[in-house]
Structure 1
């Protein structure tokens, strides 16, 4: 592990190698940003009814409140696109943080029960308050994500010096089953909760408008900033707790801040769009393959990759079932599940 980080340190590379690495990283970032721009345009154009590019441009530059297509673009498709990008970035970074904390490439909010905890808490919130507004159940999602994360880390031994990846995944799976059963019991016994909960639980962006953005964007922004801030400490601790301390990184403080960031990111993303799996698993795998293990590069790049993946899944879900749509969670699972299967079928589950 120390050797991996050492190779990722630009200070130990020749100047031409550093220049090549920088140019490659710049090209990858520009490609990801270009993909986001292209998919964002497609997201605005594609829906239950196609809208011509000319009409989209008019809606942006000469908005007419009496024009149905202009209202659709301004009030529905643009906010939805922004929300998909935010949720994707949040899930990608949350997955990267969880994999760094646990040194487990299988770690992600969906697989380790964090999404199930947020779902159970949201169902409880709807039952207790009788309200289904995101401003209300956002806080329940945060609480549920936090409790689930602490429980999985404790049961899986992730905070010990040598955690067992298989044990951690099993703990997440077991907790997901328990929380899923609890959520199902609420939905079966309280039909009014089911009526409000089922639209959220599908993991879809259908019907999400601009009212959701203010509530979740602040939490996601804080989580992303925390993740970027602790990236150097994550690099140091990847070489081991003792060596990390000698480099000035505090394991307790770093894990605490990383845990807070995961709760903010996964909780806000799940509250906004419902449970969406595999994005937090796939994006860090792609990120490490392209930019390496250095978290200073990996975390921002994971945000871009995950945003592209989720936006592509959302667009594909709308395109294959016109005039209806397929939930983004189903499409993202179709993308991420093969990656997960490939990982677990390897002879040895790698640690990070």
Structure 2
């Protein structure tokens, strides 16, 4: 965990230092001092660093939120394929925001966040209900298939809602890719209370998730209120996913990859796995953002594209595992 914190600090420094413009370290230090002390920007290099600082902070928060949400969803559903993107939660939040923009003319950051959280919650419940139908209940394969079908359907609905509105179509399509560009402290301030609530609920659910991992009957025998434990933990994941999607757009696969890496390094105890997933998610999203700035210079690749390249092979590998139905 200490090593991960050190890696995260190094990635934050690289995120501030690396971009389309090469900036001397003296200007980077001066820009950081200006941000802390409220000084004036002296040159274009310091101005560029001033833009990168909120971008770095947003990538850190969004990555931590999605990594933690993925670990919570996998714990709640006991499904190794659970992920905000694969289960359709991110796309449900996207559809809610698109409907709010196109039909109700919402424009405030608070309205975006509320709409995204409601959409994420409704989508999560819908996918879980569909995946629970038939014999065997909510198996990993059924949930993955239900989530994939829901994501495709909601993605088509987003296009259908936005297509007649040429005035908003470009912005919504760009937002749907998923990215942290254009971040400002004002946008982060609006989303911070929702993220803080999601982090608190999620991290405090670690003991309950350990009980749920034993099975519903054994958890109930140990005195755990299974339905309440599952609902509270899921609420934390929905808050994290909805708030992150509202400000960054849907970013897929990060919540799938990070918890599995965490299990390899710190085991299955959620008291360790949840904070590790949050730190690992922040590291992965920061690294993806840095890579996106480097490989397409002077243009940039949004982090949603980079994480898809990383996460898709991992998802295919997991599906092809022979014993995935037993996890």
Q: TM-score range by the shorter chain?
A: over 0.9
**Alignment partner for residue 32 of structure 2, among 40, 50, 60?**
60
TM-score (norm. length: structure 1): 0.88
CA distance in 2, matches of 1:271, 1:102: 24
State whether structure 2 residue 186 is matched by structure 1 residue 230.
Answer: no
3-state SS in 2 of match to 1:189:
coil
- Residues 1-352 of structure 1 mapped to structure 2, 5 A cutoff: 29-62=1-34, 63-74=39-50, 76-157=51-132, 162-352=137-327
Quote the offset at 1:190 in angstroms: 1.5
Residues 128 and 138 of structure 2 are in contact (CA less than 8 Å); yes or no, is this contact kept in structure 1?
no
Q: What is the alpha-carbon distance in structure 2 between the residues aligned to residue 112 and residue 349 of structure 1?
A: 17
Q: 1-side partners of 2:277 and 2:325: how far apart?
A: 19
Q: What is the Cα deviation at residue 245 of structure 1? A: 2.1
Q: 1:157 to 1:86 in 2, by over 3 A?
A: same
CA 1:72–1:343 in structure 2 vs 1: closer, same or farther (change >3 Å)? Answer: same
Give unpaired runs (5+ residues) of structure 2: none
How many Å apart are 1:199 and its aligned residue? 2.8
Return 53-62 or 111-120, whichever deviates more.
53-62
Q: In structure 2, what is the Cα distance between the partners aligned to 1:296 and 1:105?
A: 18
Aligned residues of 2:76 and 2:212 also touching (Cα < 8 A): no
Q: How far did residue 241 of structure 1 move? A: 1.6
- Give SS of 2:186's match: coil
Counterparts in 2 of 1:227 and 1:253: CA distance versus 1, 3 Å: same
Gap runs ≥5 in structure 1: 1-28
Contact residue 36 and residue 308 of structure 1 kept, 8 A:
yes
What secondary structure, in the 3-state scheme, does the structure 2 residue paired with 1:50 have? coil
Superimposed CA distance per residue, residues 269-290 of structure 1 (whole angstroms, 9 cap, x where no aligned partner): 1111111001000000000111
- Pair 351,258 (structure 1): closer, same or farther in 2 beyond 3 Å: farther
Distance 2:270 2:43 in 1: 47
CA distance in 1, matches of 2:169, 2:107: 11
- Deviations, residues 13-50 of structure 1 (Å, cap 9, x unaligned): xxxxxxxxxxxxxxxx1111111111111101111212
Q: Does the aligned pair in 2 maintain the 1:105–1:351 contact within 8 Å? A: no
Counterpart Cα distance in 2 of 1:192 and 1:61 = 40
TM-score, normalised to structure 2, is 0.94
CA distance in 1 between partners of 2:166 and 2:111 (Å): 19
Distance 1:85 1:343 in 2: 26
Q: Which moved more, 1:50-59 or 1:106-115?
A: 50-59
Cα separation, 2, equivalents of 1:85 and 1:110: 19
